[in-house]
Structure formats: structure tokens, C-alpha cells
């Protein structure tokens, strides 16, 4: 199966100049053929590819030969995918790319043009670029590499590689998990992962830096420095949360064979929040990312993920007596029928596994 690995790149000045050239050329190709398809009503990749060859041989646009050929071809494929999604009504109509958006391009592996070393990676047109990575995949076959320039000024590469499917030892255990905001994951064994305090600490830091940015003169040197400083904090938060979620989901998949969770409609959940603070917490809680990582890890390691009815009132039902009580957004659930006092998320997780075991 195919997996991905992100690594940090440290290009030198000459490599940065080459990267800027490739970013610009791939953006030019995307925008050129977007305009061409609109004017000529031609949405076929084959005709675009022939036209791209003509552009490379044209005197005015022969500068396209300076870029990695796979980067230009993949730019056309990205445009084709965007149009396919648009015609299938899965997305809006493609728009022109701007220089100030996140810059990226993808190159493919062929004839050892991409090689990963201990402290570097060889990339087409760039040579060996210094890098840092945690997982050693030098024995695996590389499929493609996507190079990005983030808004924080950091360069990163996403490597897609082939690996053998892995299986974990069966434990014979089942678990129900409740996804929330105060504690992102609570299991039916009363284990909690990722506290709200971790997220609040980073959000407070972002608010302070955002306030400083608002006081800077727009597009001044100080404004640009503060913008990069704020972007780095956002990047740190994303990496921090992703690391926490990866570790939490891996621990659950290793420990349990069958995992039950609610089939959440996250867009509907956000729209139902009346307070802006609650909406912001729901949006930054990464509930969708948790579900996605659990799905692919269960598939990768041979475990089972089962989703229960999204309309089951797991938070409003007592796990002891089974009667329903409309509790407010309190952390403690107090049942007026059997007098049970229990953590609300833990109570919901117990209801989820009970429902899953009886209905599956």
C-alpha cells in the first residue's frame, strides 16, 4: 500500500531561486490552460499536453524548459481534477492561482531522479537538498514528492512511497469512543486523550500575536515580520495537534480490535453552535481529522471501525438505567432517575459501545 511522509527541507540560496522558478512556471501553466479551456471549451488533458509541448518549443515561452517536466504535467493533472470535481458538482469552478497563495508542485520518481539520503534528498533540477525526517524509508520505493513553501517561510516535502501492509496482534477487545471539544477523545474505558488546555494555550498565544499584527502598518517591514511570526505559530499548532492525534489514534488502534464511534455530521454540529466561541472551538478541534486517521489506520493494521447511528442520543442517555435526560453542556452528567453522577463524555462513550454491541 501507499503511505506518506512529510519532511522539513533546508534549501540553500541557489536552490531557493530554482524553487521560485518552478513554482512560477507551474502556476503559469495552470493559469494559461485555465484561460485556454474557458475560451476554447477544451477540457481534455491530452490536448493540453500537446499544447504544452508546443509552448516549450515556442520562442516566447521556451523558458518553461527550465522547470521540472513532471511539475508542469502534474499542474495540468491538477487542473483536470479541479474541472472533474466542478462538473461532478463536488467543488466550485477552478480559479486562477495567485503568487501569494501557498506555493507547491509535485514531481514523480523515474530513473533514480529522487533519492533519500541520511541528511538530504536528491530532487530533479535541485540536486541534494538538506532535510530532516524521523522515519527512515530509504528501503521503500518512492512514488512522488510534493514540495511546498508554507506561509511561514518553511519548505517541506511530502513523500508518497510504497510499503507492505502491516498487521497488529489481535487483542479481542472492543471500545466506544466519544469525540468532543473539552477532551477530544474519551473511551468507554475512561481513557482521555488531548485536553482542551493544550489547545487553549496555543490559541491564547495566537490571539496575542494577532493583536500585535493588527497594530502594524499594512505591508510594512514590521507587518511582514509579524505576519511570518504568526504563521509559524499557526504552523506549530497544526504540527502539535497532528502529532497528538496521530499518537492517540495509534494507541487506540493498537489496544482494540473493534472501535465504535458516532457517524458525526461535523458541518451540522458547527452550524448548531449559537456562540462564536463554541463554533471556533468546534472548528479547531480536528474532529474530522481524528475520524480520517482512525479510518485509514484501522484499514492499514487490520482492525475494524464501526460507526453507529448519528442520531442516537449518546450524550442524553444514562449509561446505567438507559433513560433519556436532556442534559446541558455540563461536564458532569447527573441522572435524575437513578441518581448516577458520571463524566458526560465517559457516559456517552459507554452508551456508544453498548449501542454498537447490540446493533451490530
Catalytic residue, chosen from 68, 178, 257, 343, is 178
Residues 86, 79: Cα–Cα separation, whole Å: 10
Residues 6+ apart with CB under 8 A from 99: 24, 27
Q: Which string of DSSP letters, residue by residue, matches 317-342? A: B-TTT--B----S-SEEE-TTT--EE
Residues 327, 159: Cα–Cα separation, whole Å: 47
Report CA-CA distances (Å) from 253 to 1, 168, 249: 18, 9, 6
Helix pair 69-87, 45-57: axis angle to 10 deg: 150
Residues 6+ apart with CB under 8 A from 118: none
Partners of 175 in the beta sheet?
A: 259
Q: In this structure, what C-alpha cell is assigned to residue 170?
A: 489481535
Catalytic residue, chosen from 68, 257, 262, 343, is 262
- Is 178 a catalytic site residue? yes
- Is 200 a catalytic site residue? no
Q: In this structure, what C-alpha cell is assigned to residue 202?
A: 496555543
Catalytic residue, chosen from 68, 257, 343, 345, is 345
Residues 204, 223: Cα–Cα separation, whole Å: 20
Closest CA to 10 of 124, 130, 90: 130
Dihedral, CA of residue 5, residue 199, residue 283 and residue 273, to nearest 10: 160
Closest CA to 278 of 158, 163, 182, 185: 182
Residues 158, 325: Cα–Cα separation, whole Å: 48
- Is 262 a catalytic site residue? yes
Q: Mind telling me the catalytic residues? A: 178, 262, 345
Amino acid at each position: 500500500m501507499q503511505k506518506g511522509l512529510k519532511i522539513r527541507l533546508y534549501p540553500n540560496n541557489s536552490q531557493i531561486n530554482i524553487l521560485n522558478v518552478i513554482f512560477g512556471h507551474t502556476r503559469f501553466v495552470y493559469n494559461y490552460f485555465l484561460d485556454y479551456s474557458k475560451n476554447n471549451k477544451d477540457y481534455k488533458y491530452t490536448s493540453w499536453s500537446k499544447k504544452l509541448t508546443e509552448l516549450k518549443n515556442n520562442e516566447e515561452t521556451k523558458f518553461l524548459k527550465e522547470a521540472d517536466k513532471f511539475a508542469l504535467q502534474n499542474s495540468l493533472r491538477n487542473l483536470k481534477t479541479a474541472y472533474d470535481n466542478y462538473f461532478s458538482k463536488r467543488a466550485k469552478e477552478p480559479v486562477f492561482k495567485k503568487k501569494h497563495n501557498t506555493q507547491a508542485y509535485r514531481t514523480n520518481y523515474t530513473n533514480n531522479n529522487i533519492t533519500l539520503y541520511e541528511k538530504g534528498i536528491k530532487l530533479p533540477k535541485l540536486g541534494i537538498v538538506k532535510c530532516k525526517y524521523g522515519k527512515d524509508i530509504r528501503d521503500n520505493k518512492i512514488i512522488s514528492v510534493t514540495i511546498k513553501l508554507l506561509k511561514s517561510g518553511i519548505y517541506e516535502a511530502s513523500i508518497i512511497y510504497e510499503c507492505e501492509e502491516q498487521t497488529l496482534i489481535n487483542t479481542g477487545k472492543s471500545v466506544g469512543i466519544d469525540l468532543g471539544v473539552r477532551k477530544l477523545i474519551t473511551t468507554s474505558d475512561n481513557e482521555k486523550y488531548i485536553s482542551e488546555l493544550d489547545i487553549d494555550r496555543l490559541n491564547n498565544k495566537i490571539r496575542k500575536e494577532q493583536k500585535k499584527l493588527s497594530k502594524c502598518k499594512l505591508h510594512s517591514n514590521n507587518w511582514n515580520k509579524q505576519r511570518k511570526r504568526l504563521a509559524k505559530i499557526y504552523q506549530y499548532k497544526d504540527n502539535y495537534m497532528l502529532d497528538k492525534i496521530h499518537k492517540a489514534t495509534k494507541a487506540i488502534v493498537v489496544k482494540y480490535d473493534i472501535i465504535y464511534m458516532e457517524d458525526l455530521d461535523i458541518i451540522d454540529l458547527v452550524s448548531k453552535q449559537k456562540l462564536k466561541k463554541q463554533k471556533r472551538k468546534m472548528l479547531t478541534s480536528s474532529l474530522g481529522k481524528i475520524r480520517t486517521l482512525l479510518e485509514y489506520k484501522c484499514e492499514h493494521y487490520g482492525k475494524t471501525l464501526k460507526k453507529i447511528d448519528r442520531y442516537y442520543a449518546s450524550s442524553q442517555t444514562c449509561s446505567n438505567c438507559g433513560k433519556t435526560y436532556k442534559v446541558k453542556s455540563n461536564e458532569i452528567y447527573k441522572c435524575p432517575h437513578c441518581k448516577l453522577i458520571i463524566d458526560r463524555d465517559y457516559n456517552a462513550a459507554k452508551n456508544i459501545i453498548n449501542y454498537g454491541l447490540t446493533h451490530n
